[in-house]
Copies of this chain bind each other. A is one copy, B any other.
Amino acid sequence: MKNILVLGAGRSASSLIRYLLDNSTAQGWEVTVADISIEMAEKKTSKHKNSRAIGFDIANESERQKEMNVADIIISLLPPHLHHIAALECIRLKKNLVTASYVSSEIKALDKASKEAGIILLNETGLDPGLDHMSAMHIIDRIKKGGGEITGFRSFCGGLVAPESNDNPWGYKFTWNPRNVVMAGQGTAQLIEDKQYKYIPYNRLFIQTELISIAGYGSFEAYANRDSLSYRKHYDLENIPTIIRGTLRMPGFCKAWNAFVQLGWTDDSYSINASNKLTYCQLLEAYLPKGNQAVRQKLADFLREKPDSEVMNKLEWLGIFEDNKIGLKDATPVQILQDLLERKWKLGEKDIDMIVMQHIFDFRQEGKNKRIISSLVVKGEDQVYTAMAKTVGLPLGIAAKLILNNKISSKGVRIPVMKEIYEPVLQELINYGISFKEEEKTGLF
């Protein structure tokens, strides 16, 4: 028997745990699911014969050492800032670790120590980051092997609601951490296009969008996603003239979201005194220039929108012009907005989520300009086995299986850009309905 320790049994753990349990008898696994809430862990294991659910606090040293010591591999879905504790313990105990989180500077600093311990700290092995790396590298390596020179890489991903559950004017419902959605994009996005560096600050991130289309699913709106430049190194595309990563929303979302950016409602750095005594409309007034018009008109003027525009209708649908009281006391603008949106953008009981990903590779091969478009659409099964949970959890589970079965030779702090990982993971994902559709074109783009 091999022991797998899963840290964290939250929303995104469902598909991972199901995968591990479904494979447990054939593979000879005992799966321990550890969460700060034992009830949460028990709910996810459903008393499966190869499972064990435990209450667990990573900060408790003796508990941590006891459980990690009997594990053969650890899969961490803990909040990102806690991975460092798990990783240090993994080095001490010489246990492999898999996570779906970005490599933090703290984790990065453990590369040498983890190599010396003979282990792999495999990060960014969920959806985005994760499946994006694997599916991109799969094609990048293939193009290079075929003698192609890659001149452009554009990659987009979005966690959305499926068209059949899309029944609000924003075309959006929360399918993952709402706070991250509200805070998304702060800072300056960085990319390169036709050899020209582009820096897009937050105040115009949501207006400098582009449309991309996915056969059978129509158009999506993309805004630039943070630092695309660093991916040149990750993907070994150091001199590529164009590299852009973007986040996908339904068309029209970004321009309306920009209203909150321009208002200042995505600031989390200060509290609104006695916010529970205000209505949303009064809060709006506090963010708008002086004037005698009604708040709705004042906002339209401020945004240079007509009063019945798409943007204004989306805002109106949120109820911000009505006299509803804000539910939170002394809250930051982000907290107030998130609280409102969590009610308005709630995934209904019968709603289905959807993951959309598309890579566009431009390359020159045998004197011809070519383009490969690789697209993925995954829909959720229900509110538990969402597309998000599947696309985050299955890559983690498959990667853990590969490591347990000694199929991975890489050591140290890694992300899944190596063939020995992406090839078998992508292959197995096909069995779960996660497969990219490819289209190749020749000509001028």
Chain A residues with CB under 8 Å of chain B are 187-188, 190, 193, 196-201, 203-204, 208, 227, 229, 261-264, 267, 269-270, 272-273, 285-287, 289-290, 333
Contact of A264 with B198 in the complex, beta carbons under 8 Å: no
User: Closest Cβ of chain B: how far from A269's Cβ, in Å?
Assistant: 6
Contact of B289 with A208 in the complex, beta carbons under 8 Å: yes
Contacts of A196 in B (CB 8 A): 285-286
Q: Given contacts A196-B286, A201-B264, is CB(A270)–CB(B208) below 8 Å?
A: no
Q: Given contacts A188-B264, A264-B188, is CB(A199)–CB(B286) below 8 Å?
A: yes
Contact of A269 with B198 in the complex, beta carbons under 8 Å: no
Contact of A198 with B270 in the complex, beta carbons under 8 Å: no
Query: What number of copies of this chain does the assembly contain?
Result: 2
Contact of A188 with B270 in the complex, beta carbons under 8 Å: yes
User: Closest Cβ of chain B: how far from A262's Cβ, in Å?
Assistant: 7
Contact of A187 with B286 in the complex, beta carbons under 8 Å: no
Contact of B286 with A197 in the complex, beta carbons under 8 Å: yes
User: Closest Cβ of chain B: how far from A333's Cβ, in Å?
Assistant: 8
User: Closest Cβ of chain B: how far from A336's Cβ, in Å?
Assistant: 12
User: Closest Cβ of chain B: how far from A278's Cβ, in Å?
Assistant: 8
Contacts of A262 in B (CB 8 A): 201, 203-204
User: Closest Cβ of chain B: how far from A190's Cβ, in Å?
Assistant: 7
Q: Assuming A187-B267, A203-B261, what are 7 further A-B pairs, CB within 8 angstroms?
A: A187-B269, A188-B264, A188-B270, A188-B333, A199-B264, A199-B286, A199-B287
- A198, closest chain B residue (CB): B286
Q: Given contacts A208-B289, A289-B208, is CB(A269)–CB(B188) below 8 Å?
A: yes
Contact of A201 among B197, B199, B200, B263 (CB under 8 A): B263
Give Cα A269 to B263, complex, Å: 22
Give Cα A203 to B203, complex, Å: 7
Contacts of A270 in B (CB 8 A): 187-188, 190, 227
User: Closest Cβ of chain B: how far from A42's Cβ, in Å?
Assistant: 42
- Sample of 30 A–B contacts (CB below 8 Å): A187-B267, A187-B269, A187-B270, A188-B264, A188-B267, A188-B269, A188-B333, A190-B270, A193-B290, A197-B272, A197-B273, A197-B286, A198-B286, A198-B287, A199-B286, A199-B287, A199-B333, A200-B264, A201-B262, A201-B263, A201-B264, A201-B267, A201-B287, A203-B203, A203-B261, A203-B264, A204-B262, A208-B289, A227-B270, A229-B273
